Amino acid sequence: MHGLEVEVAGIMLKNPTMLASGIMGLSAASLRRAVRGGAGAVVAKSCSSQPREGNPNPTVIEVPPRGLLNSVGLANPGCRELAEELRKLGGEVPVIASVYGFSPEEYAENAVLMQQAGVDGVELNLSCPNVEGTVFGYREELAQEVVSEVKRRVKLPVFAKLTADAGDVVSVAKACEEAGADGITAINTLRAMSIDLTARQPVLGNRVGGLSGACLKPVALRCVYEIAEEVRIPVIGCGGISTGRDAVEFFLAGARAVQIGTAVLYRGLNVFRKVAQEIAEYLEERGYSSVGDITGMAHR
Give least dist CB 283 to other proteins, A.
30
Give least dist CB 287 to ligand FMN, A.
29
Q: Is 242 in the site for other proteins (CB under 8 A)?
A: no
Give least dist CB 159 to other proteins, A.
20
CB 240 within 8 Å of CB 211? no
**What's the DSSP call for residue 135?**
B
Q: Is 32 in the site for other proteins (CB under 8 A)?
A: yes
Give least dist CB 300 to ligand FMN, A.
27
Q: Is 261 in the site for ligand FMN (CB under 6 A)?
A: yes
Q: Which residues of 165-197 are buried (b: 16+ CB within 10 A; e: fewer)?
A: bbeebbebbbbbbebebbbbbbbbbbbbebeee
Residue 239 — φ and ψ, nearest 5°? 135, 100
Q: What is the CA radius of gyration of the chain?
A: 18
Catalytic residue, chosen from 128, 215, 223, 238, is 128
CB of 161 or CB of 174, closer to ligand FMN: 161
Binding mask 250-289 for other proteins (x = CB under 8 A): -----------xx-xx------------------------
Cis status of the peptide bond prior to 104, with omega within 30 of 0: no
CB 4 within 8 Å of CB 16? yes
How far is C-alpha 96 from the chain's CA centre? Answer: 10
Out of 4, 11, 41, 72, point to the residue binding other proteins (CB under 8 A): 72
CB 46 within 8 Å of CB 100? yes
Q: Is 21 in the site for ligand FMN (CB under 6 A)?
A: yes
Annotated catalytic residue 47: no
CB of 171 or CB of 206, closer to other proteins: 206
Subset of residues 195 to 224 that bind other proteins, contact rule: CB under 8 A? 196-199, 201, 203, 205
